[in-house]
Amino acid sequence: MLLLQAQVEQAVTEVAENPVLTEVVEAANEMNLWDMAVKGGWIMIVLALLSVLSIYIFVERLMAIRKASKVDPVFMERIRDYVKTDELKSAINYCRVAGTPAANMIEKGIERIDRPAAEVQAALENAGNLEIAKLEKGLSVMATISSGAPMIGFLGTVLGMVKAFWEMANAGNNIDITLLSGGIYTAMVTTVGGLFVGIIAYFGYNYLTSKISDLVFMMESTTIEFMDMLHEPADTIR
């Protein structure tokens, strides 16, 4: 028992007095996300830029979609009243003040209210397509990031493995695990980083797409209501 205790005390003393062992233990304890990212090399810089870009697009588009979704519940009732009293200029001004995609679309219809119904319908559809295109601005970039970021991460993986095998070939018979760790570390870290950025962009893209789909449905309902109003008897509208 005394012999075992003496051996343990001697081992502890050697670890404390050996600077190499102490540095290894401290380095392992100090490992963090920043160190992991640095080990990934320049690939991680590219992935970091893509993540910032995708987050910026997501936040900016989300704010724009929420703003576009705020519709006055009595919007169409007021438009109907303006049209009944032949106050078309007031109706157009009201649409411009609202400033929503649905209001901009109805504004184009009011400007052509005295033309054939088919022409009014075409104007509404064209205006609606323009508004949808504005809402979808930047989504193609997010879709590209969601698919491209993992591929960039896999590129880092391939480069890391090439580096590891190159170091193995140059080491000859003196192969050391430390020679391989750098390349393998780069390979693993870039894979994780690419998947992380791609997943964020993928879910963000799908969320924004679903919100835009809801807004498109609302715009279609507004269009139908406006066209039904135009087909009402003239004495009812005006």
- Whole domain around residue 66: which residue ranges? 40-237
pLDDT at 118: 84
Given a cut of 60, whether residue 21 has pLDDT beyond it is no
Given a cut of 70, whether residue 181 has pLDDT beyond it is no
Given a cut of 80, whether residue 81 has pLDDT beyond it is yes
* Cα–Cα distance, 87 to 83 (Å, whole number): 6
- Would you say residue 158 lies in a domain? yes
pLDDT at 183: 62
Q: What tens digit of pLDDT does each residue of 83-97 get?
A: 888 888 888 888 888
- Would you say residue 31 lies in a domain? no
- Would you say residue 5 lies in a domain? no
Q: Which position has the higher pLDDT, 184 or 152?
A: 152
pTM value > 0.85: no
What mean pLDDT is reported for the chain? 77
Fill in the amino acid letter for 138: G
Given a cut of 50, whether residue 115 has pLDDT beyond it is yes
- Would you say residue 29 lies in a domain? no
pLDDT at 4: 39
pLDDT at 87: 82
Query: Can you list the pairs that 59-64 forms with residues at least 24 positions away whose Cβ atoms lie under 8 Å?
Result: 60/138, 61/135, 61/137, 61/138, 61/139, 61/208, 62/208, 62/211, 64/135
Angstrom distances, CA of residue 31 to CA of 27, 36, 92, 182, 224: 6, 7, 62, 15, 61
Predicted confidence band at 144 (pLDDT cuts at 50, 70, 90)? very high
* Cα–Cα distance, 62 to 11 (Å, whole number): 60
pLDDT at 230: 76
Given a cut of 70, whether residue 25 has pLDDT beyond it is no
* Cα–Cα distance, 139 to 213 (Å, whole number): 13
- Would you say residue 8 lies in a domain? no
Q: Taking a C-beta distance cutoff of 8 angstroms, is the pair 135, 64 a contact?
A: yes
Total domains in the fold of the chain = 1
Contacts of 167 (CB under 8 A, 6+ apart): 179, 180, 182, 183
* Cα–Cα distance, 138 to 180 (Å, whole number): 41
- Would you say residue 19 lies in a domain? no
Fill in the amino acid letter for 55: I
- Would you say residue 17 lies in a domain? no
- Would you say residue 227 lies in a domain? yes
Given a cut of 70, whether residue 212 has pLDDT beyond it is yes
